[in-house]
Structure 1
Amino acid sequence: MTDLHIPSPAKPHGGPALRDNARTSRGALRAPLVISISGIAGLLALWELIVHAFDIPGYLLAGPWEALAEIAAAPGFYWEHSLMTLEASALGFGAGGALGVIFGAVIFYVPAIRHVLYPSLIAVNTIPKVAIAPLFIVWFGFGLESKSFVALSIAFFPLVISTFDGLASVPSELRELARINRASKWNQMRKIELIHCLPSIFTGMKISISMAVGGAVVGEFIAGNSGLGFVILVANSQVNLTSMFAAFICLAVMSLALFMVVDHLGRILLPWNVATSK
């Protein structure tokens, strides 16, 4: 059996031209970022305008300026609780993402397991995570572990689906090419199927990372004594909408930042996918 060799793309020539292309690419990336920031700023301005125009009382809706002032008045408080939520989210996403990719590959490559396990995974995923969160508290207690496992349970399924679909979408021509070249199953998986599947995996990761933050908040609702979910719960009991919306803003910033990190990582590791998607 011989290894399957994929020729490396030729290196571009022309230093000045390459630098010009790099500057053009950076400029192309800055434009959507500016538009996105402008859109968020416009949404916040509209929110503030609605609050003032309709004179909505503070116990019904807090304006963004008031919520931002609340964060500025106690930055250490919101920073500390944001870090708690971030830690649970990152652990849940990391473990759930790794398990999701592994399970997605297993159910694709082992049909016997697919027929047994896949319907069960779908059935379990339909159960609301708020309903199963108390189980994690019974099993793992009230600490970081239970909140991380709630985040894991939510982040896990999108990676299973995206990995499975990515592997299933590999063109049959590429598999035929591997067979003609007498490539081993391992080389076919590593040099063709995994490479082709990576864009789907990163799409699943971008979905999972935001859902992991939501899962951590659900865990904090049920069993937390810290974190932004706990802040929201306490603010709700006190009808303190300013603190609640301040926590919402922190969660939105955190989710957006994590999404952008995963997206940027995908652009770095999968440059060919970025080029073909333009």
Structure 2
Amino acid sequence: MNRNKITRWLAHYLPAIGLFIGFVILWQLAVSVFDIREYLLPSPGAVVQAMFSDEIPWLGHTWVTALEILGAFLIAAIAGVMLGMAIAWSDAMSRALTPFLVFVNTLPKVAIAPLFLMWMGYGIIPNMLIGALIGFFPVVINTAVGLTQIDKDLVDLGRVFSAPKWKVFWKIRIPNAYPYILSALKVTATSAVVGAVVGEFVASQKGLGYVIITTQSSMNTPVAFAALVWISILGLLLYGIVAMLSRVLAPWAE
């Protein structure tokens, strides 16, 4: 890595790193100056110690939550893109699907989660579906917008060359929608995390959300904060993967 690349990397990431370090310093100062009890707000050092403690099998719980998040993200992404394409392909499909999708999106997801438990029982799959249900709607809307908000000259050019509708759709409309879809996937990456953890709160015997719930009775706040940090790390990793994918598939949008 040459000097120019290092300089660009520092210019890009240094503000975020500085903000994070400042937040941790203020957190530590608040705990020390105001002498806050650990069960109310543990110090950063106590949280880091809990993150690597043998008291909790972190690897197993983190693996379960990671699978749920990834599954929720993939289901939301695939279903959202397919539904968005259906809406953009046909006006009749748009009129039929849009009101129904809005109705589904307005349903309170926390209230739906117990129903998933009744239908499917405990396990990873219900939590994936809850996460997907929370995260798919932005993908649907952005996909439909990206496929329809396109320069008419490009569509006319395809018609001049007698390209069939499906080819115009595949060669012109879908590449135009890349930035829209990838922007929505960044939102879905965080929504999938929320959905998976909500599912673990309602019905789970494993996972980081389950760790948070079980520590409430014992008021083991450092472990609860440690679980939150692990959840955030998983969310950041997924978001970073989507961001890298955006630079590959749609560098002009970046």
Residue in 2 aligned with 1:176? Answer: 156
State how far apart, in whole Å, the 2-side matches of 1:121 and 1:235 are.
Answer: 37
- Deviations along 1:13-66, one digit per CA (max 9) or x if unpaired, are xxxxxx98xx74674244312332222122112111112121111222122221
Q: 2:134 aligns with which of 140, 151, 154?
A: 154
Equivalence map 1:1-278=2 (5 Å): 24=4, 27-74=7-54, 77-274=57-254
Q: Which amino acid aligns with 1:107?
A: I
Cα deviation 1:142-161 (Å, max 9, x = unaligned):
01111111111112111111
Counterpart CA distance in 1 for 2:42 and 2:171 is 53
Q: 1:246 Cα shift? A: 0.7
Given the superposition, is the C-alpha separation of residues 143 and 162 from structure 1 closer, same or farther in structure 2, using an over 3 Å criterion?
A: same
Per-residue deviation, 1:237: 2.2
Could you report, residue by residue, the CA deviation over 1:88-144 in whole angstroms, capped at 9, with x for unpaired residues? 111111111101000011012121121122112112111221110112112221011
Gap change, CA 1:159 and 1:58, over 3 Å in 2: same
Give the superposition deviation at 1:266.
1.3
In structure 2, distance between residues paired with 1:41 and 1:224: 34
Q: CA 1:108–1:75 in structure 2 vs 1: closer, same or farther (change >3 Å)? A: farther
CA gap of 1:265–1:67, structure 2 versus 1, over 3 A, is same
For residues 178-228 of structure 1, what are the alpha-carbon distances to aligned partners after superposition, in whole Å with 9 as ceiling and x for unaligned? 222222212211111100100111111111011101111011111100000
What CA distance in whole angstroms lies between the structure 2 residues aligned with 1:262 and 1:222? 28
In 2, Cα distance between equivalents of 1:190 and 1:76: 49
1:7 alignment counterpart: none
Alignment identity in percent? 35
SS of residue paired to 2:37: coil
Q: How many residues align?
A: 254
Secondary structure of 2:57 counterpart: helix
- TM-score calculated relative to the size of structure 1: 0.86
CA distance in structure 1 between the partners assigned to 2:99 and 2:203 by the alignment: 30
Give yes or no for contact 2:178–2:249 (8 Å, CA) kept in 1: no
Q: What letter matches 1:92 in structure 2?
A: A
Gaps of 5+ in 1: 1-18
Aligned partners of 2:95 and 2:186: how far apart in 1? 27
When the two chains are superposed, the root-mean-square deviation of aligned CA atoms in Å is 1.9
Which TM-score applies when normalising by structure 2? 0.93
**Partner Cα separation in structure 2 for residue 258 and residue 157 of structure 1:** 18
Compare 85-94 and 49-58 and name the one that shifted more.
49-58
Q: Distance in 1 between matches of 2:186 and 2:161?
A: 35
**CA apart distance, 1:84:** 0.6
Q: Per the alignment, do residues 26 and 95 of structure 1 end up closer, same or farther by CA in structure 2, a change over 3 Å counting?
A: farther
- Inter-CA distance 177–75: structure 2 relative to 1 (3 Å threshold): farther
Q: Which amino acid aligns with 1:45?
A: I
For structure 2, the 5+ residue unaligned runs are none
